[in-house]
Amino acid sequence: MAFTTFIDDLALVEVLLLLAAAVFAYSGVMIWWAIRTNQPGSVKKILHGAAVPIGAVGIATTALSLWGEMTWPFLASDGLAGYNIFFFDALLLFGLLLVAYATAAYFGTRMQYVGLFALVAGGVTAFYGYTGYTASPAFTKDPLDTLLLYLGFAVAGILAFPASVIIDYYLDSVAALKAPFRTTPSPAAAARPRGMGTRGAQPVNPAREAAPANAPESEATPEVYHVPVWVQTFLLLFPVFMAIAGFAALWYFGITLPGHLGSGPGAAP
């Protein structure tokens, strides 16, 4: 089948990637801070709020990628054979992932299943990027920039899985009235010696003695919420790498748009 019209939508694809990365990076940092400061209500609000723009981008991305999969020219003579596979396969996975995330976040269902989707999609995207980079002839005129774009989103997708598991565990623990992860006692409680047998053998603790005699134990020795460093690290890695992927999409947009508009040297197919 011969096509008489060729539609170039690469710039729009890059903008959609940038929009999704920006929302994910911003909301990811907000969720990290909300969990770090023990605000489960804020976590739910952030997820619910991010679902709207992510869903909009996801619908547009899915529709665009389906169109590209079915209409991209596939003629060996024009040098464009296989581009529907290289570009739109990964884009369709991304669009479906965005729609799944928006649905789960909006309706408050468990996020780790979407995270598992992102883990698999991230691994597949990394392989697509590596294959495109090592192909001969190369699929783009900027193979290294394309590889970095694919790897940025691939790593962010892989890191989405542990982040989603942590979010689910945190919200489930709060809903069950349990302390998520762990707590550390207040300085007054931590200063009390342990295993010394009798209360009379314990040294005087000014902070504890200053509490009213009739104060409940929970008020006299309050517990301070603390998120382990490894939890904070896994939560923060996702928005960090999503921001890196967003910068890669912005860079790719900058180097390809002039060529595709005819105002500069061509950069990508």
Indicate the domain borders of the chain: 10-185+222-261
And the tokens for 213?
Answer: 């005699």
| Total-model pTM | 0.77
The token pair that represents 97 in the structure block: 């992932």
Q: What angle do CA 26, 27, 29 make, to 5 degrees?
A: 70
Say how far apart CA 182 and CA 227 lie, in whole Å: 7
User: What is the pLDDT at residue 199?
Assistant: 44
Q: How far is the C-alpha of 42 from the C-alpha of 82, rounded, in Å? A: 45
**Geometric angle at alpha carbon 121, from 35 and 56, rounded to 5°:** 70
The CATH code of domain 10-185+222-261 reads 1.25.40.600
Whether the CB-CB separation of 180 and 174 falls below 8 Å is answered with: yes
Of 150, 101, 102, residue with least CA distance to 126: 150
Beta-sheet strands, E only, within 19-123: none
> Which residue in this structure is represented by tokens 């996975």?
93
Chain centroid to CA 267: how far?
28
What is the per-residue pLDDT for 181?
78
User: Peptide bond before 137: cis, by omega within 30 degrees of 0?
Assistant: yes
Q: Where are the beta strands (DSSP E) in the chain?
A: 182-185, 223-226
Report in angstroms the alpha-carbon separations of 188 from 191, 200, 216, 260: 5, 17, 15, 66
In a 3-state reduction of DSSP, which class is residue 182?
Answer: strand
48 in Cβ contact with 105 (< 8 Å): yes
pLDDT < 50 regions, the chain:
1-4, 186, 189, 195-211, 215, 217-222, 264-269
pLDDT of residue 201: 41
